[in-house]
Structure 1
Amino acid sequence: MSAQPIPFGKSAHGLRDSQTFSSSSSVQLPRTLARPEFIEVSPVAIAAAAPELVNVPLDYIRRRLRSEAPQMMAGLSSLAPSHVPSSLPKSHLPPSLSIPLRAPPSRATPTYPTHVLAVSSSKSSHDTQAIMVPVHSLVLAAQCARLPELRTPNTAVSHTLHLPVIPMSVPSPAAFTVLRSFMYDHRLDGVLKALFPVPPSFLANLSHSAVRATMSSGPALHQLSLYLCEASGHNLQTLTTYTAHVKDLWQDMVVLGLFDSELWDTLDLAWDIVLGAMNLAVVMRQ
């Protein structure tokens, strides 16, 4: 899906509302990243992942997932790393993986993952590898409206976990790992840190309200863009790479149908920051 310039409700960093940013004759960036039409997650997908939650309100399910995040993350940490390959050839994916369990590093009682996603790029036919990402099916079913059903297997847990391997393709597997972390911990600072350098003081206790307040403050946006510009050494190529990180995250969010408002506002903030940094780098070169 390609980005299209759309009207934007404020001006910042020297760009008018509906302008595209151009760092050269070959680079055209939209002023904003368009949000797709909202789609609610499928009750059928919820039922496949957790039959006991049929007819349970979705808000309750999401609140429960947030409260149980420590147990689920403990379950992920319980998988013996040596038995979870970081990647496998797309053409030779096993139907399942048998993974020995170890004691989790936290005190939380582990809730074990249900599947391993074999995530590959939908943009590159030359990418022959799929990264292997353990997940809990309910976490994805409750937050991603465009994913197929992931039926939770009835697997007895002993000292080894047997997880089905599910092939999946997204525009950016690297961006998917960022989104997977967010779907568990809902940390906005983690999302921003994965995209480009951000002042540690800004990331401390970052909340949704702080994100929204920053987006409405020209001086605050300017300071964050200036920090990024200086962190990149005023290098447009480096800043273009950071821009690609944000756009990759946006494309994956669209494909997954991930409509979390906190995440979308953070994405908008990241786009404002990186466009402002590129604008400053261009001005400093003149």
Structure 2
Amino acid sequence: MLPPQPPANHLVNLNLPPSSNSNRLPTHILALQSTRSDQRFLYPTHALLLAAHCTGVPPVPILPAGSTSLPVVQLKVTSPNLFPVLQTFLLTKSYETLISGILPVSASSLASFASFPPQQRTAKLGHMLYEKSHGSMQQLMVYSDQISAFWRLICALGVFDNDTWEVVDLTWDAVLGAMNLVIQNEDAGRGRRM
């Protein structure tokens, strides 16, 4: 259990089992504070993962092997609650998991069209989002806000991973496609009433 606020000395003490594989353990705690509130999220993470993918995270001092304390790195970002979605993707490279972490679609439903060409995948996801929103432009705006929040997070952390940006492009294009379907259906409805 992590403390709700990082301690003054910027170290968090952990109770680790003696048989823990130190290569798999976190090397530090990322304390992400929302730019919109005082809300703070603490995430155990590994310096190597962030060094490889996040140029906006300052270098973290690595403590000696066997230490039960982890350094805390504090950053202010928008939507810190989306960091676990990003971290999971950087570890697994699962497009379906990332998309389902950003948008209200299941990873299993996305896997069914993973082998489609990019344009077909985008169109299929757009149709799924249109159906999920029940053709509501307001709900689709909520989805676009979520993509925008994720985009701001990866910009703040300095993520330059092409795969991550491909997912941002795909989700954004899919939401725009769903919005176009709403407009087309509204236009068709007006045409029938004339």
Same fold by TM (over 0.5)? yes
Is 2:24 the counterpart of 1:111?
A: yes
Q: Please report the TM-score for the alignment, with normalisation by the length of structure 2.
A: 0.82
Is 2:66 the counterpart of 1:156?
A: yes
Superposition deviation, residue 136 in structure 1: 0.7
Superposition deviation, residue 171 in structure 1: 2.0
Aligned counterparts, 1:65-104, within 5 A: 83-85=1-3, 88-89=4-5, 95-102=10-17
Query: CA 1:203–1:173 in structure 2 vs 1: closer, same or farther (change >3 Å)?
Result: same
User: Would the aligned equivalents of 1:182 and 1:188 in 2 still touch at CA under 8 Å?
Assistant: yes
Superposition deviation, residue 183 in structure 1: 1.8
Aligned counterpart, 1:142: 52
Is 2:107 the counterpart of 1:214?
A: no
Superposition deviation, residue 270 in structure 1: 0.6
Counterparts of 2:11 and 2:133 in 1: how far apart (Å)?
42
Matched residue of 2:70: which SS?
A: strand
Is 2:173 the counterpart of 1:272?
A: yes
Tell me the percent identity.
29
Superposition deviation, residue 240 in structure 1: 1.2
Counterparts of 1:97 and 1:138 in 2: how far apart (Å)?
19
Question: Which 5+ residue runs of structure 1 have no aligned equivalent?
Answer: 1-82
How many residues align? The count is 186
Question: Which 5+ residue runs of structure 2 have no aligned equivalent?
Answer: 188-194
Tell me which of 177, 182, 186 is aligned to 1:281: 182
User: Would the aligned equivalents of 2:61 and 2:71 in 1 still touch at CA under 8 Å?
Assistant: no
Counterparts of 1:244 and 1:109 in 2: how far apart (Å)?
38
Aligned counterpart, 1:203: 111
Aligned counterpart, 1:254: 155
Superposition deviation, residue 271 in structure 1: 0.5
Aligned counterpart, 1:36: none
User: Would the aligned equivalents of 1:115 and 1:136 in 2 still touch at CA under 8 Å?
Assistant: yes
User: Would the aligned equivalents of 1:112 and 1:136 in 2 still touch at CA under 8 Å?
Assistant: yes
Aligned counterparts, 1:49-64, within 5 A: none
Query: CA 1:152–1:89 in structure 2 vs 1: closer, same or farther (change >3 Å)?
Result: closer
Superposition deviation, residue 189 in structure 1: 1.1
Aligned-residue CA RMSD in angstroms? 2.8
Aligned counterpart, 2:33: 120
User: Would the aligned equivalents of 2:51 and 2:59 in 1 still touch at CA under 8 Å?
Assistant: yes
Counterparts of 1:130 and 1:176 in 2: how far apart (Å)?
12
Matched residue of 2:71: which SS?
A: strand
The letter of the residue matching 2:14 is I
User: Would the aligned equivalents of 1:93 and 1:165 in 2 still touch at CA under 8 Å?
Assistant: no
Is 2:127 the counterpart of 1:226?
A: yes
Matched residue of 2:127: which SS?
A: helix
Query: CA 1:103–1:265 in structure 2 vs 1: closer, same or farther (change >3 Å)?
Result: farther
Deviation per residue, 1:91-112 (Å, 9 max, x gap):
x7662222223599xxx88621
User: Would the aligned equivalents of 1:120 and 1:131 in 2 still touch at CA under 8 Å?
Assistant: yes
Superposition deviation, residue 89 in structure 1: 4.9
Query: CA 1:249–1:93 in structure 2 vs 1: closer, same or farther (change >3 Å)?
Result: farther
Deviation per residue, 1:201-224 (Å, 9 max, x gap):
432594xxx48x223x4xx43332
Aligned counterpart, 2:146: 245
Counterparts of 2:129 and 2:18 in 1: how far apart (Å)?
40
